[in-house]
């Protein structure tokens, strides 16, 4: 509907339904935080089940869990109510919206912060374990697949800064991948959260990865 990825001059005249495209982008924005939040929480629960004896690690895990849960709940609500009436999200001629630059950049920045915190935890947990160094680095690497998620999140934040500095983002060209970055981030996060399982599966066929 949005012809994302197409050069503007390659879009057939009258084919681009701007209102419909904005409506689906709005829906995408609303469900982003719950999706990415649930994935992070599932990964944090995996780390909590390791039952680290370090009380500071346990406190950090639960603190990140609470922060992630708060973001997961508040993010969609802020996006939904930043414009009134609801139609103002996709029809800029009705109603009014708060400054979207503030809500978008703060939301993306907070998501990136929790990405970094979650990414740091496996290294902290496993660093002090008395196991073979090669196996330790293997486990840390598979539990840190989220570095790709963090990289996408950082690129997403940078792209938003650029877009929102140009007419509040309303003049963005269709020839861009920015609208797909949240979807890419969510899917990569789902894969990264399964890092331990991926390593176990590889270990069934490749002895090098077997560290049962």
pLDDT tens digit string along 21-62?
899 989 999 999 999 999 999 999 989 988 888 999 999 999
pLDDT at 166: 64
pTM, to two decimals? 0.84
d(CA 154, CA 31): 19
For the chain, give the percent of residues with pLDDT over 70.
Answer: 95
Assess whether pLDDT exceeds 90 at residue 131: no
Please state the domain extents for the chain: 18-205
Band (pLDDT 50/70/90 cuts) for residue 155 is very high
Assess whether pLDDT exceeds 70 at residue 126: yes
pLDDT at 106: 87
pLDDT at 130: 74
Assess whether pLDDT exceeds 90 at residue 195: no
């Amino acid at each position: 509907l949005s012809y994302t990825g197409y050069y503007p001059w390659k879009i057939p005249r009258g084919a681009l339904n701007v209102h419909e495209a904005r409506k689906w982008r709005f829906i995408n924005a609303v469900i982003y935080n719950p999706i990415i939040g649930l994935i992070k929480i599932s990964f944090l629960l995996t780390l909590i089940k390791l039952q680290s004896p370090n009380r500071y690690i346990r406190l950090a895990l639960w603190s990140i869990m609470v922060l992630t849960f708060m973001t997961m709940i508040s993010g969609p609500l802020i996006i939904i109510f930043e414009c009134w009436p609801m139609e103002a999200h996709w029809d800029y001629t009705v109603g009014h919206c708060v400054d979207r630059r503030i809500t978008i950049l703060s939301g993306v920045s907070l998501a990136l912060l929790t990405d970094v915190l979650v990414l740091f935890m496996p290294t902290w947990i496993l660093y002090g374990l008395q196991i073979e160094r090669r196996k330790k680095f293997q486990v840390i690497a598979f539990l840190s697949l989220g570095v790709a998620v963090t990289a996408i999140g950082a690129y997403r934040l940078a792209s938003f800064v650029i877009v929102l500095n140009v007419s509040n983002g309303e003049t963005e060209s269709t020839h861009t991948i920015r609208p797909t970055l949240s979807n890419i981030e969510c899917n990569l996060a789902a894969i990264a959260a399964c890092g331990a399982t991926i390593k176990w599966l590889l270990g069934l066929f490749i002895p090098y990865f077997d560290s049962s």
